[in-house]
Amino acid sequence: MVNSVPAMLRYNGRAELTGDLLLMCMNGSGPRTVDFTVFLSNTRATSRLLNPAAAATEALLLVDEPGAQAAVPCPASQTCENANVYQGRLAGQNSLVWPNVKLNVPSGGMQVLRFTNIRVDASLLGVPSSTAPPIMTYATLAASDPALNFNPGPVVVAFSGEGIHWQLRNAANSEELTAPLAFNQCAAYNEPLARNPFSTQVPDGVSFVVRVSETGSQDLRAMTISSAPAPSAEVRPLPEAQNVPGLMYGTESGFYDPAYPAAGGMNGAGLATQATRFIVRFQVPAGGMQVHAPVYELGRNSSNSRVRLIAANRDGASPFYAALPVFSPFNGGLFYSRQVSYVYEVTARSTPSPYLLDDIDLPFVIAHPGGPSVKPGQTQVSVELAPLSGDHRPAEEIWTPRFKDSGDWRPVAVLDACTGASGRVPGRR
């Protein structure tokens, strides 16, 4: 019998963990060597390649639910006699294979086979809708030995979820913005900050708030579990083992045991490269208004913020957690200046609840010095889970998780050209 507890995928995720596939082997089939293959429907297998030369991935086959002390790992490049943890290989775009698996089902007994760390490209499934049937991913299990008599599936291993939603809100964070903010070229706005990013003077205050909301209780996740909170949001602690078979950890990592051998990269199997990130991007006319971003979420600081501004490339990727320097303090928040994109990562200091739908509120400040040197035009904003990844570009497939750009851009502010000596009231139509 093959079964699974389906996982909820973020619809634009390109490396989303499915539910484990579980096979119960019974009826005393005796010693045998079997090749197992998992075929996925409607999508691609995107489990991390840990040893490209051997097509060895992070996907593992656990025999009889081995605990940390009882595990005997077998890298994909080896043939092992007494192993109970086998490394899977990428066999095709939508399939993974575990060759030379040694089974010995005792008479009247059974063996439990768990296929874990299977990641898929959810962006190929389409965008889910509350008015349409759920979008599902199926897995079919095949075995090279016909004596293993089981129903191969297909079995549902995942549903496509909506991922994060985001909203533009007014400066007081009391309601949604219904129209872009209006500014005038001749009327300076937060001028001290516009002229000096280290300034502590922000006379016109916060301009707008970006709210990032979960639609599933685990859209925003830590990298791994933490036995204790990080000392602050400024650091990411070392990853911790997640090595209890079948336990749902609610993090970006899957089944992970750093004590496994380095051969084949098995000691990194299941480990994500970062916690959940999202990127807030701005399209601003060259020479136009500045948008200053918070380091922490609204009303929080390094001791309790659930996200932190980090250093990353324009797609939100970076090989490590690098907290950006703190510049100008304002109204309990801290701002970093003069970029067109800002990347936030879930912290290990105060992670979002795995049981509630969390909202993350980020206050942004618009600034410009006024005068004809400031270029008029519209400023747009986009919020996406990150890092962003193109269509199956191998260089980007080291990042786990990674996401497709949905292209959802919205106007947030307009800088109008001077309209007279008095100008117009900043921030209003």
Read off the pLDDT of residues 22-70 as tens digits, 9 standing for 90 and up.
998 876 667 889 999 999 999 999 999 999 889 999 999 999 999 888 9
According to the model, what pLDDT value does residue 25 have? 83
According to the model, what pLDDT value does residue 23 have? 93
pLDDT at 82 over 80: yes
Length of the chain: 429
For 21, phi then psi, to 5°, come to -105, 130
Give pLDDT tens digits for 393-413. 666 688 999 999 999 999 999
Give pLDDT tens digits for 332-347. 345 555 558 899 999 9
pLDDT at 368 over 90: yes
Contacts of 194-203 spanning 24+ positions with Cβ under 8 A: 194/290, 194/367, 194/368, 194/369, 195/369, 197/292, 197/327, 197/328, 197/335, 197/336, 197/337, 197/338, 198/327, 198/328, 199/328, 200/328, 200/329, 200/330, 202/328, 202/330, 202/331, 202/365, 202/367
pLDDT at 329 over 60: no
Q: How confident is the model at residue 426 (pLDDT cuts 50, 70, 90)?
A: very low
Dihedral (CA of 217, 218, 221, 222) sign: positive
**Rounded CA gap, 197 and 311, in Å?**
17
Q: How confident is the model at residue 421 (pLDDT cuts 50, 70, 90)?
A: very low
Percent of the chain past pLDDT 90, that is, above it, reads 66
**Rounded CA gap, 380 and 368, in Å?**
16
Name the nearest CA neighbour of 98 among 49, 48, 149, 62. Answer: 62
Half-sphere exposure at residue 242, Cβ-oriented, CA atoms within 13 angstroms: 25
Give pLDDT tens digits for 203-236. 999 999 999 999 987 899 999 999 888 888 998 8
Domains defined along the chain, listed by start: 2-161 (2.60.40.740), 165-224+275-416 (no CATH)
Give pLDDT tens digits for 115-131. 999 999 999 998 888 77
According to the model, what pLDDT value does residue 333 have? 46
Give pLDDT tens digits for 247-290. 999 999 999 999 999 999 999 999 999 999 999 999 988 888 99
Q: What is residue 324's DSSP assignment? A: P
